[in-house]
Structure 1
Amino acid sequence: MAGMSHRIRERTDALDVAGNTTAAIGKGFAIGSAALVSLAMFGPFVSRASISTVDVLTPKVFIG
Structure 2
Amino acid sequence: MLLKMIAGLSGPEFSLAPGDEREFEDTEAERLIDAGFAVKAEEASAAPAKTKKGKANVVPASGNSGAE
Bigger fraction of residues in helix: 1
- When normalised by structure 1's length, the TM-score is 0.24
Higher strand share: 2
Greater RCO (Cα-Cα under 8 Å, separation 6 or more): 2
